[in-house]
Amino acid sequence: MNRVDIERIRRDFPILAQKINGRTLAYLDNAATTQKPQSVINAVKEYNRRFNGNPHRGIHHLGVEATRLYEAARMKVKNFINADSAQEIIFTKNATEALNLIAYAYGMTFLEPGDEIVITISEHHSNLVCWQQVAKAKGGVLKYLYLNDDYTLDWEEVERKITDQTKIVSIAQMSNVLGTIYPVQEIAAYAHTKGAVVVVDAAQSAAHMPSDVQVLDADFFVFSGHKMLGPMGIGVLYGKKELLEMMPPFLFGGDMIEYVAEQSASFAELPYKFEAGTPNVEGAVGLAAAIDYLNQIGFKQIQAREFELTRYALSKLAELPYVKVFGPTDLVKRGPVISFAVDGCHPHDTASILDHYGVAVRAGHHCAHPLMQFLNVPATSRASFFFYNTKAEIDDLIDGIKQVRRWLGYGS
C-alpha cells in the first residue's frame, strides 16, 4: 500500500483522527481489539434502524429480515474460513466462549482418566484455564509445549509431547504476546496420526492471514469479531460436522430445542443446538461487514503492510539499548505483535506515560501468566499493529519510549 492508499484507508476509521492529550491518537493496541471502519458502524446502525427483530421465531417482516441477515452472516463466515457447510459455523459471544464450548461439550464428554491435553506455554488464559479444568475434572494430564530461545517451537518438542495418549491438542495460531506464528497445519497433521483432535485458536491470526480450515484440517477453529474490525460480543466456533453432532449442547434454553415435554427435551439440529437464546444479530451483521472490508483490502495487501510495519518497528526498537524485545527475530515466523520491556521501567508506567503522548499500547501479563513465568518477567508492554497503522505512529512510539526514560530519571 502506498501513502495515498493508507490515507484513504485511515479516513474509513473515524476514531483514528481523534486527539488524545492534544496529540493525534497512535493506536497500537490492535491485539486487544481493532477499530471499526465506517462501513461496519453503518451496517450495525442500519440493522438497528430498519431490521431489528428476533430471528427464527416471528413470521412478521422484521423477524424474517433479522433471520435473513443472521444466516447471511453465517454463510459469509463459512466462506471466509472455507468451511464445508454453514452448519459447521456456530456463533458465540467471543473466542473465549467458543473455547469453553469445546472444552465442556467435547472435553468433558469424551476424555477419560489418563488422557492427555497438549497446549503451548504461550497460550492465552482462554485456551489454558478451560483445559486445566477439564483435566482436573476428568483425571486427564495437561502437558505444555515449551519454546526455544528464539521463541519458536522445536519440532522435537512436538513429537515428544504429542503421544498416543494425547486426545486434544489446542494451540493458538499466533501468540498474543510474542507474535510467534505456530505451524498449526503441520502440528494438526502429526496430532491426527496419534488420534488427537486439534483446536486452533485464531483470535490473533484471523484478521492477519487467510484462514482455510480444510487446508489446516482443524477439527475446531475459533475467533472473535472485535479483533478483526467487527463488534464486540460476537465470535465464531467452527467444528467438523461429525464432531459437533456427537457433542451435547453447552447451554440450554430457547431456540436450541426441537421439542420440550415436562420431563424431557430434544434438541435442534446444527448449528442451532449450540445457540441458545436470542442471538447477537447486530454483532453478526457487523462481523459480516468486517469480513467484506477485509476481503476488499485483501490479505496479500494486509500481510505485506504489516510485515513492513513490524520490520520497521523492530529495527527502531533495536536502536534503543535499554529495550528488550520478546518474540522471534525471523519476520516470517511472527505476526505484527511486539512485546517489550524498558530497563528500569515497569510496563504499566511505560504504557501510562506513552498514553500521555497519545500512544496506545498494552501493559501487563496479557492473560498469559504461565508465559510470563516462563520468560521470567512480571509483565511486558505490547505494541500491536494493523494495516491502518503508519510508520509515523511507530516513530511516535519510539519517541514516547525515550520520554518514558526521561520521566523516570534516566536522562535518555
Q: Which residues are catalytic?
A: 367
SS3 355: helix
- 220-224 and 197-201 as β-strands: parallel, antiparallel, unpaired? parallel
Please give the full DSSP string across 368-411, using - where no structure is assigned.
-HHHHHHHT-S-EEEEE--TT--HHHHHHHHHHHHHHHHHTT--
Residue bearing cell 464486540 = 232
Q: Which long-range contacts (CB under 8 A, 24 or more apart) does 265-269 make?
A: 269/87
- Four-CA torsion 47, 53, 54, 57, nearest 10 degrees: -130
> Which three three-digit cell numbers place residue 287?
462481523
DSSP H stretches of helix in 139-248: 155-161, 184-193, 213-216, 241-246
Residues 6 or more apart whose CB falls under 8 angstroms from that of 217 comprise 185, 188, 189, 192, 198
